[in-house]
Amino acid sequence: MKPEIFKQELAKIGIELSDTQMRQFQRYYELLVEWNEKINLTAITDLEEVYLKHFYDSITLANALDLKDDNYSICDVGAGAGFPSIPLKIVFPNLKVSIVDSLNKRIKFLTLLCDELQLENVSLYHDRAEDFGQNKAHRESYDLVTARAVARLNVLSELCIPLVKKDGKFLALKAAKSEEEVLESKKAIATLGGKLVEEVEMTLPFIEDKRYIVVIEKKKETPKKYPRKPGTPNKKPLK
Ligand X SMILES: C[S@@+](CC[C@H](N)C(=O)[O-])C[C@H]1O[C@@H](n2cnc3c(N)ncnc32)[C@H](O)[C@@H]1O
149 labeled part of a ligand binding site: no
Euclidean distance between CA atoms 171 and 127, whole angstroms? 20
Contact between residue 18 and residue 43 where contact means Cβ atoms under 8 Å apart: no
Report the alpha-carbon distance of residue 214 to residue 176 in Å, rounded.
12
Q: Which is nearer to ligand X, 18 or 181 (CB)?
A: 181
Per rule CB under 6 A, is residue 78 in the interface with ligand X? yes
Backbone φ, ψ for residue 146 (5° rounding): -135, 165
Least distance from ligand X to the Cβ atom of residue 150, Å: 5
Q: Tell whether 109 is in a known binding site.
A: no
Distance (Å, whole) CA 83 – CA 104:
16
Binding piece for ligand X, criterion CB under 6 A, among 30-38, 109-117, 126-134, 195-203 = 126-134
Q: Which residue, 215, 212, 211, is CA-closest to 52?
A: 211
The residue among 11 and 154 lying less far from ligand X, judged by its C-beta, is: 154
Quote the least distance from Cβ 50 to ligand X, whole Å.
11
190 is an annotated ligand-binding site residue: no
129 a known binding residue?
Answer: yes
Which of the stretches 86-94, 124-132, 187-195, 216-224 binds ligand X when contact is defined by CB under 6 A?
124-132
36 is a site residue for ligand X (CB under 6 A): no
Which residues have CB under 8 Å from 218's CB, separation 6+? Answer: 140, 161, 164, 165, 166, 167, 168, 169, 170, 193, 194
Of 51, 55, 72, 83, the one binding ligand X (CB under 6 A) is 83
Please check if 62 is assigned to a binding site: no
b/e per residue, 89-112, with b = 16+ CB within 10 A?
bbbbeebbbbbbbbeeebbebbee
- Binding-site size for ligand X (CB under 6 A) equals 17
Residues in the chain: 239
133 binds ligand X (CB under 6 A): no
φ, ψ for residue 145 (rounded to 5)? Answer: -130, 135
Under the binding rule (CB under 6 A), the answer on residue 106 touching ligand X is yes
The residues facing 174 across adjacent strands are 212
Region from 16-24, 79-87, 163-171, 196-204 binding ligand X, contact rule CB under 6 A: 79-87
Q: How far is the CB of 54 from ligand X (least distance, A)?
A: 7
Residue type for position 225: K
CB 147 → ligand X: shortest distance, Å? Answer: 6
Question: Shortest approach of ligand X to residue 19 CB, angstroms?
Answer: 26
Binding site for S-adenosyl-L-methionine, by residue number, is 78, 83, 129-130, 148
Sites of contact with ligand X (CB under 6 A):
78-81, 83, 100-103, 106, 128-130, 148-150, 159
